[in-house]
Amino acid sequence: MTDDSTAAGPTARTHPPKTAIVTGASTGIGEATARELSRRGWIVYAVARRADRLEDLSKETGAIAVPCDITSEADVSTLRDRVLHEQGTIDALLNISGGARGADWVANAKDADWDWMYQVNVLGTMRMTRAFVPALRENGEGTVLNLTSIAAQRGYEGGGGYNAAKFAEHGFTEALRLEEAEHNVRVVEIAPGLVHTPEFSLMRMGGDVEAAQKVYAGVERPLTSEDVAEVCAFAVDLPHHVNLDLVTVKPVAQAAPHKVLRKQ
């Protein structure tokens, strides 16, 4: 005899829905993660700068669209006040927002590119975390998930600025885990490898479509946004005492950051 309550899988919930904030929700992994958590029955606050895309996501999934620039302290404070007023608490903060600009070697580094990467990947993640840690502590079983990259594990030519930002985010995440363990706040790091998303490489290559396409050329099955989103959702949906401290996710074709199998 089958118990229908368990047969339905991860979408079945018999307890009140949990609340998550997902940044970077207007595109790529952030959008896919907001969709996946909504599918699993979470109340999702979808956060990004592009209001039109968030509204489309909201109509499709029921996620709550909240336009917010995570590099703005005022925007983050307004977001915090709204969410806590409406929900009282949150269960998970998923810092997905991030990105790369430029592929210059360090000798040709552009200040503006490096500054943007540090602002978004590091300081934006810090501001969001700082704003919501008190609520996560009060919750008693809160989770912070930071999306970094295999660029946080090994440097490579042309990656200096992105390496620097993601190494910093990785170090910040390790420190946060140590600091918040006594408050029972679970801290997770997901580090993807090659993911074929609509905008990541296009932004990195300054809008050069041909250069962006070469990043994935010949790779039979790179990761998709949905692949990584499933890992993120799984990590925060696990029983709270189970912590996936660091998960590195690569396509099979990417044996190492510097070794990617490409078919002619």
What is residue 150's predicted lDDT score, i.e. its pLDDT? 94
What is residue 221's predicted lDDT score, i.e. its pLDDT? 82
Residue 118 annotated to the active site: no
What is residue 210's predicted lDDT score, i.e. its pLDDT? 67
Catalytic residue among 45, 118, 156, 162: 162
Mean pLDDT of the chain, nearest integer: 90
Question: Splitting the chain (264 residues) into consecutive groups of 10 residues, what average pLDDT does each group show?
Answer: 45 74 96 97 96 96 97 98 98 96 94 96 98 98 97 93 97 98 98 81 60 66 92 98 97 84 78
49-92 pLDDT, tens per residue?
999 999 999 999 999 999 999 999 999 999 999 999 999 999 99
What is residue 196's predicted lDDT score, i.e. its pLDDT? 81
Q: Return d(Cα 203, Cα 109) in angstroms, integer.
A: 16
Question: What are the residue ranges spanned by the domains of the chain?
Answer: 13-260
Question: Is the pTM here over 0.75, yes or no?
Answer: yes
Q: What is the SS3 assignment for 235?
A: helix
95: amino acid identity, one letter: N
Q: Which residues contact 30 (CB under 8 A, 6 or more apart)?
A: 22, 23, 24, 46, 48, 94, 96, 97
Q: Which residues contact 77 (CB under 8 A, 6 or more apart)?
A: 131
Pair 260, 254: CB distance under 8 Å: yes
Q: Where are the alpha helices (DSSP H) in 110-248?
A: 111-118, 124-139, 160-180, 200-204, 209-214, 225-237
For residue 218, the number of C-alpha atoms closer than 13 Å in the C-beta half-sphere is 8
13-260 belongs to which CATH class?
Answer: alpha beta
Count, residues in the chain: 264
